Structure formats: C-alpha cells, structure tokens
Amino acid sequence: MASAATTTDVLIVGAGFAGMYMLHKLRQAGISGQVVEAGSGVGGTWFWNRYPGARVDIQSLEYSFGFDEGLQREWRWSERYAPQPELLAYADHIADHFDLRRDIRLDTRIAAATWDEAAQRWRIATDTGDGYDCRYFILATGCLSIPTEVSFPGIEDFKGSIYRTSRWPHEGTDFTGQRVGIIGTGSSAIQSIPVIAAQAAQLTVFQRTPNYSVPAHNGPIPPADLEAWERDPRGYRAASRDTVGGFQNEARTDVLATESSPEDIRAELDRRWAWGGFRLLGAFGDTAIDPAANRIIQDFIAEKIREQVADPKVADLLTPKQHYFGTKRPCVDTGYFATFNRDNVELVDLHAAPIVTFNTGGIATTARQHDFDAMVLATGFDAMTGAIDRIDIRGVGGRRIQDHWAEGPRTYLGLTVAGFPNMFTITGPGSPSVLTNMINSIEQHVEWIADCLSWLADRQMASIEATPEAEAAWCRHVAEAVTPTLLPTANSWYMGANVPGKPRMFMPYAGGLNTYTDICNQVAAKGYEGFTIRAGETILSDSREFSSHPPMPDIPAKLMPIIVERLTAAGFMPA
Ligand code: NA7
C-alpha cells in the first residue's frame, strides 16, 4: 500500500463543520491536510438528514461559527432555528469561502487506519483501494452519523417505499394522497411528523417511548438577541462558549425549584416556555439532580401537552413517564403535539400493541393490520462511537479500537486515546459534545488540536500519545461528573442504551463546556500533561498524570446529601 499512498501531514475523516474547520485551521498553521468524506457533498449531519421539517435545535445565531469576522458579518440567518437546506447552504458557503474543496475528497470512505510505530505515522486505507500516509489522523466523523441497524420481521416484503430520516433522498418526497407510517418519536420524528401530516392523506405514528418536547416558537430572530449580537459578535460568542451547554440559557444554578413558591415556579416556567427551545433546561438548579424538582417540570410539561392535545387519552399517551426531563436531549418542535388533533393522524402505542411483522401491505401489530404506501424509519443512531468503530483502526501493537472500547469508549479529554498516538477525535466520547451546542464544541476542539499540532511541530516532535494513567483518570472524572445527576437513569443514546449489545456507559462529559475548556487549556499550558511526546528515541515529555481537575462548583447546600449519596454509592467518595 505504501507506494500507492498519498502523503499528507494530516488526514481528516468527515467534511461536516468539524472536518472543514479543522482543515482551515491547519492550513492557517502551515500544516497540510486532506479531508475524506463518505457523502457526495460537504455538510455532515446537514448533508444526510434531509427529512421534512429538519432544523437545528439551538438558535442559529449561536449555532454558527465565530472564528472568522468576515464569515460572521456576511452570513445572515433567515430564522431563529435554520432549516436543513439553509444549514447545508451555510456548509457549502464555508467550503467555498475558505477554498476548502480542493482538499476535500468526496464519495470515499476510510476503511482502515494502522499506526506504524517504527515510522510514527498512520497508514490509511480507503474503500476504493488507495490510501494515505500521514502523521496525524483526525476523526471528525460526527456523533450521530451511523443509523441504528433496526430491522423488523418481514420488512423486505413491504411493497411500498421505505425512508430513513437520516438517509432522506436528495430529490425529496411527495406524500400527497399517501398513507404513511412513521416509527419513532425522537427528535427526527417530532420535527417531521407535523410536516408529513400536512401533506399525506393519512399518517400513523408508532410510538414506543414518548419524549419531552418544547416549542421552538420559530420565526424571526428575536430583536434583542440580534441587537446584542450585532453590537458585539465576539462578546456574544464568548458568552455562549462560557456556559455549560455552549449556548445562552439564562441558567439559574442557585435557584431551586423545591425551594420556590408555586407562583414563582409557574411564572418562570411560563416565561421560558413562551421563549421556547432549551431555555426551560436552565430554569432551576436542582432539576437535573433532584427527582422532586424534576417532577415539577415534568408536571408542567404534562399540563402543556394536555393543553395542546384535544383527546385526553392521546395526551396521556404522548406524556413521558419513563424518564426524567433533560435526561434525553429534549426535542424542540413546531406544532408537534397539536398535530395529533388532525383527523388524518393516528397514534399507535407500541407498548399496548407491539409490531408483530411488516408484510406486503404494511404493518401488523398485535391489535390489527395497518396498510401504508410509505414507511418512515426515524429510529435513531449508533451514537458517538458508531462512525469511529466502523473503521478498522489499529494502534500500537496492532490493538483494535473495538477491543480498547469493548467495555465502552475510553478517551483522554474526549480528544485522544491511549495506545492510538497522533489520533484525535472531534466531539468524541468523553467530551461535552452532544450535551452542548455542537458548533461551539467543535470550535474548541479544532482550536485545541491545531494548537497542539503547532506546538509539536515547533519542537520537531513526531508523536503525542495519551498515557493509560491519564486516560484512566479522565474516564473516572467523566463518570464522576455525571454520577450526581439524573442523566444515567435514562435509557438514552447517551448511555448506548438504544443499540443492543452496546456497553451501557454515559459517553459525553457532563461537566460543562466552560469547565471542560478550562481543563483542556490547563493540560496544554502544562506542556500537554498526561501525554507521552516523542520523536524517535527522543522523549520530550512523559507526564503520566492528569492533575487539571476543575474547581468544585458552588453547590446549593440542599443538594449536597443527594450528591454525596450518589458519589458514595458509585465509589467516588468513601462510605
Ligand atoms: P432518537 O432520539 O434515538 O429516536 C429514535 C426513536 O426511534 C425513538 O423514539 C425510539 O424509541 C424509536 N425506535 C428505535 N428503534 C425502535 C424499534 N425497533 N421499534 C420502535 N421504535 C423504535 O433519534 P432521532 O434521530 O430522533 O434523534 C437523534 C438526535 O438527533 C436527537 O437527540 C437530536 O439531538 C438530534 P425508544 O425511545 O428507543 O423507545
């Protein structure tokens, strides 16, 4: 393979926002990069997820890059929450504006990557038979790129059309006059159901688990936000990045729902509901930890569902009861619940009537036959690890990433993996990623990686590798950060719970983007502590420890007993 391989400093997998910004940032540092992308266009998530109603769930003013003044000034979003075509246009604009396409190869998958210890380089193989020889290997593969391989008995017999939300046809679909069925009630389904219902003759929604959804109240960008942004775009972005979630949320960590009066709670939740989107998450400091506080928000949302859905039985079925609010990423909708008031929409509760089989006409549940012209599968993703462990990645000594991650993904800082030198993950497991505004997390990762590679180049170093000790300490910290919260209690894709056989482990870092950024900066400032850095026989640094722990947050006294109990039970504090 070596003779057929193209040489580059850095091979980047994926031409979504992460891969494109990485390429641009490396070029600025004088480092050559090549992006390889499986799709036939750039845009990642926004290239693939073209289902009707697809749009971002973070306000576009914040879900956009801040690294370039010109880009910021010339791009204007048409709505608070941009729709998929506009997000894809933004991705294309970035590719053109920064002249990235000449180093992006489309329609090509990376099949394998092998670390050559002697040369301290990665040997990369594509699915077209050629390859790359590179110093650094960067996985910008996205957290929600690989659809779950759900399969239903008899699905191959179905005579109608089958669509996956995550692989929607580029030419679009026309459901006019059709009977459509949709499986799933996650974010993709909740966004597409109102749009499909408005077009199709009949829409049947097969629901296994109801989800919390808050209204987007989409429309023009709120004037106050636009003014604040226009006054000081840099300051606006910095304020977004200096938050737990990477977006401005008016978080009130010191106000507890369980200590507030019913009138104050109501006023605050009503205000946030009217504003829309994720702002509900920041209302009180105890809802992510204390079940009693979470219950208050659950009851509030249940009431909002009852207000929107005319049939009390349907409203009850649509009300989540099996997980706490916020333990799965809440959905942000436009008219979802009210869609169930339409005469042409039916809700099927899969707990009461499970699917027995697909057949030529449609779906047979234990209750009856449902006939369809088209089926939509909105059944989710093999999140966070799916796109990485489908590549045959072999590190030091030929160790496979799948083996290293057999009990769940292990990383140092969510950026690197022990035994896999010079390999970086952007928004990988162990980083805040999917708990945040992804664009801000991407910016932070790309900038940290580019700084690291420049630092190594300045010192003429050939490789950087997380030590097993630092990786173990980081994994422990990731587990410790989430343990006090309710997050691990849900069967979420954060936990790997939606993929049969996937290890159950909370994958993203729940300590907050702001805290995480501080930790990463401290690690770099200490000369990349927790890494072995070398060129051939020369070892520049071999600091095994990871000592850059965050300061203890200010925790309201009332929550301390719950937190201590959970940390003790999990072995993080002595009994
Ligand atoms: P999600 O949120 O993982 O939703 C998948 C949905 O599909 C969910 O309602 C699942 O029910 C349902 N599902 C999955 N498999 C089945 C089977 N076999 N039978 C019936 N129902 C099934 O994926 P999305 O694409 O909607 O959203 C992913 C993220 O993208 C989202 O969080 C946003 O951040 C953007 P379950 O809950 O497992 O009972």
299-321 confidence digits (pLDDT tens): 999 999 999 999 999 999 999 99
Among protein residues, the one with the nearest Cα to ligand 1's atom 25 is: 380
151 pLDDT above the threshold of 90: no
Task: Give the mean pLDDT of the chain.
Answer: 96
Question: Which residue carries 């008899």 as its tokens?
Answer: 154
DSSP assignment string, 213-246: EEE---SSPPHHHHHHHHH-HHHHHHHHHTSSSS
Which structure tokens are listed for 370? 């449902």
- Label the pairing between strands 121-126 and 110-116: antiparallel
Q: Per residue in 502-524, is it b (16+ CB within 10 Å) or e — as a string?
A: beebbbbbbbbbbbbbbbbeebe
Percent of the chain with pLDDT over 70: 99
The upper half-sphere exposure of residue 503, i.e. CA atoms within 13 Å in the direction of its Cβ, equals 14
Determine the pLDDT at residue 213. Answer: 98
Q: Quick one: angle between helices 438-458 and 513-525, nearest 10?
A: 0
N residues, the chain: 575
Q: How far is CA 422 from CA 82, 200, 248, 322, in A?
A: 36, 51, 34, 42
Instruction: Tell me how many degrees the CA angle 237-239-244 measures, rounded to the nearest 5.
Output: 110
Ligand 1 center to 448 CA (angstroms): 32
pLDDT band at 178; cut points 50, 70, 90: very high
Å from CA of 186 to ligand 1 middle: 4
DSSP 553: P
Dihedral over Cα of 169, 172, 175, 181: its sign? positive
SS (H, E, C) 361-374: CEEEECCCEEECCE
Give the pLDDT of residue 383: 98
> Pocket of ligand 1, candidates 56, 150, 187, 365: which has the most ligand atoms within 8 Å of its Cβ, to mutate?
187
Q: Is 234 left (phi over 0), alpha (psi -120 to 50) or beta?
A: alpha
Per-residue pLDDT for 1 more than 50?
A: no
The token pair at 122 is 């990665």
Could you tell me the distance, in angstroms and rounded to a whole number, from the CA of residue 77 to the centre of ligand 1? 28
- Over its C-alpha atoms, the chain yields an Rg (Å, rounded) of 24
pLDDT per position as a tens digit, 398-437:
999 999 999 999 999 999 999 999 999 999 999 999 999 9
pLDDT tens sequence across 527-546? 999 999 999 888 888 888 88
Buried b (16+ CB within 10 A) or exposed e, 547-570: ebeeeeeeebeebeebbeebeeee
Instruction: With residue 200 as reference, give the H or E element that holds it.
Output: none
d(CA 449, CA 11): 13
Quick one: pLDDT at residue 549?
81
Using the structure block, give the residue that is written with the tokens 């959905």.
Answer: 331
Which atom, in ligand 1's list, is nearest to the CA of 189? 26
- Report the run of H or E that residue 538 belongs to, with start and end: strand 538-542
Tokens of 317: 């079925």
Q: Is there a contact between 141 and 155 (Cβ–Cβ < 8 Å)?
A: no
pTM across the whole model: 0.97
Residues with CB under 6 A from ligand 1: 144, 150, 165, 183-189, 208-209, 329, 350, 378-381, 493, 498
pLDDT of residue 542: 84
Res 545: pLDDT: 85
State how far the Cα of 471 lies from the Cα of 423, in Å rounded to an integer.
14
C-alpha distances in Å from residue 283, one per residue of 53, 242, 256, 264, 515: 28, 18, 9, 11, 20
For residues 85 and 553, which has the higher predicted lDDT (pLDDT)? 85
| Planar angle of CA 550, 410, 386, nearest 5 degrees | 120
What confidence tens digit (pLDDT) does each residue in 509-519 have? 999 999 999 99
* Centroid of ligand 1 to alpha carbon of 326 (angstroms): 15
In sequence order, which residues have a C-beta less than 8 Å from that of residue 333 and are 6 or more positions away? 190, 191, 194, 213, 214, 215, 216
Work out which ligand 1 atom sits closest to the CA atom of 379: 7
- CA 182 to CA 520: how far, in whole Å? 42
What backbone torsions phi and psi does residue 14 show, to the nearest 5 degrees? 110, 130
Contact 122, 11 (CB under 8 A): yes
Q: How far is the CA of 189 from the centre of ligand 1 (A)?
A: 8
pLDDT for 436: 98
pLDDT category, 368, cuts 50, 70, 90? very high
Identify which of 556, 476, 572 has the alpha carbon closest to the alpha carbon of residue 290.
556
Judge whether residue 181 has pLDDT over 50: yes
User: How far is the C-alpha of 26 from the C-alpha of 557, rounded, in Å?
Assistant: 46
Protein residue with least CA distance to atom 2, ligand 1: 186
Q: Long-range contacts made by residues 395-404, C-beta under 8 angstroms, separation at least 24?
A: 395/115, 395/419, 395/420, 395/421, 395/423, 396/115, 396/117, 396/420, 396/421, 396/465, 397/117, 398/114
Extended strands (E) in 96-209: 104-105, 110-116, 121-126, 131-139, 161-164, 179-183, 202-207
Angle between helices 262-275 and 291-308 (to 10 degrees): 60
Residue 2: pLDDT band with limits 50, 70, 90? very low
HEC profile of 315-373: HHHCCCCCCCCCCCCCEEECCHHHHCCCCCEEEEECCCCCEEEECCCEEEECCCEEECC
- d(Cα 73, Cα 65) in Å, to the nearest integer? 11
pLDDT band for position 551 (cuts 50, 70, 90): confident
Residue of 158, 162, 110 whose CA lies nearest to 134: 110
Q: In ligand 1, which atom is closest to the CA atom of 498?
A: 38
Residue 116, C-beta contacts closer than 8 angstroms, at least 6 positions apart: 122, 123
Is residue 3 predicted with pLDDT exceeding 70? no
Q: In sequence order, what DSSP letters do the residues of 251-297 get, joined into one string?
A: --TT--GGGS-HHHHHHHHHHHHHH-GGGGGGS-SSTTT-HHHHHHH
46 CA to centre of ligand 1 in angstroms: 18
Across the chain, which distance is largest between two alpha carbons, in Å?
Answer: 73
Q: Which atom of ligand 1 is nearest to the CA of 380?
A: 23
How far is residue 30 from each of residues 27, 420, 421, 457, 528, measured CA to CA in Å? 5, 24, 21, 10, 21
Cα 407 to averaged position of ligand 1 atoms, centre (Å): 23
Residue 533 CB-half CA count within 13 A = 19
Strands 362-365 and 369-371: antiparallel
CA of 192 to the centre of ligand 1 (A): 13
pLDDT digits 0-9 by tens, 310-357? 999 999 999 999 999 999 999 999 999 999 999 999 999 999 999 999
Q: Are 131 and 13 in contact (CB under 8 A)?
A: no
Q: Which two tokens mark 555?
A: 């925790």
Q: Whose CA is nearest to atom 16 of ligand 1?
A: 379
